[in-house]
Amino acid sequence: MSSPDTPRILVNGREGVSVDVTDRGFALGDGLFETIAVRDGAPRFWQAHADRLLDGCRRLSIPAPSIDGLAHELERVRGDAPSGTARITITRGPGPRGYAPPPEPTPTRVVGFYPAATAAARKPRFTLRWCHTRLALQPALAGLKHLNRLEQVLARAEWTDPAIDEGIMLATDGRVVECVMSNLFLVKDHTLVTPALDECGVSGVMRRQVLETAGREGIEIQVRRVEPDEVKRSTAVFVTNAVRGIVTVERIDDLQYSADEPVVRHLRDCLEAVDG
């Protein structure tokens, strides 16, 4: 942990970068992770991240970690760095060959901090493309930030153009789900629309904050199935994730969108004022 710009990582509470090769997270993707923005020395929306992690552990029957313990380890890896990005990974831990989970798992936890990541991620407006890779429908995993990210890896490999910031992903039945690294929102007739994530996709912490904020501010919300043509007909489009917050979409292929839509501007101002 000598250089201020290198990642600082704890594996089960000890400094290191290695896990057991029999770990089910490494071998099978059997685990969960959270990516958390750290601002002014504090993890943003910590309780929301903790709630999602605990819910994921419950749904996958992985023994849950101590949230107080994770917070303490995050403070250790953060040190005196005021901002950056943290990642917490929880796996089912080491196990024998085969898919059957061990009857008494010993979970692995990895807490990492990346000091320079937040500043590098800031960009005021995005250009998007449509991805060819599709997301499989799997209600048992819908919403979870699990370690199986191969669909996103394939989708992100579709472009190398630095002018493209994100890609929109459809499900195998053609519905719009999310972007490769972000959740997707539309503004249509002053109504906020975002795809339902009951059959696939990641239920992002920033997505939750946007929906809760919109509800408090009296903005009409629709969480439902979204078709590609609706995206093309929208007044404004924006994406969200925990590190970037709200980012306005300027262009999708040849279509231009409003860069200063009042609903989007108001939501961004509300969330930037929240300490989290």
What per-residue confidence (pLDDT) applies to 120? 46
Assess whether pLDDT exceeds 70 at residue 268.
yes
Pairing of strands 125-130, 245-252: parallel
Taking only the tens place, the pLDDT of each residue in 135-158 is 999 999 999 999 999 999 999 999
What is the structure's pLDDT at 46? 97
Longest dimension (CA), the chain: 55
| Sign of the torsion formed by the C-alpha atoms of 243, 45, 1 and 33 | negative
Mean pLDDT, rounded, of the chain: 94
Mean pLDDT of 75-103: 96
SS3 category, 193: strand
pLDDT, tens digit, 9 for 90 and up, residues 160-171: 999 999 999 999
Spell out a b/e string for 128-164, using b for 16 or more CB atoms within 10 Å of the CB, else e: bbebebbbebeeebbbbbbbebebbeebbeeeeeeee
Q: Which of 150, 226, 131, 143 is nearest to 188 (CA)?
A: 226
pLDDT at 1: 44
Instruction: Output the six-digit token pair for 225.
Output: 């199935």
pTM above 0.85, yes or no: yes
Q: What is the pLDDT of residue 275?
A: 65
276 pLDDT more than 70: no
Nearest Cα to Cα of residue 212 among 247, 254, 240: 240
* Overall average pLDDT of the 91-108 stretch: 96
pLDDT at 12 over 90: yes
User: Which domains are present in the chain?
Assistant: 8-119 (3.30.470.10), 123-272 (3.20.10.10)
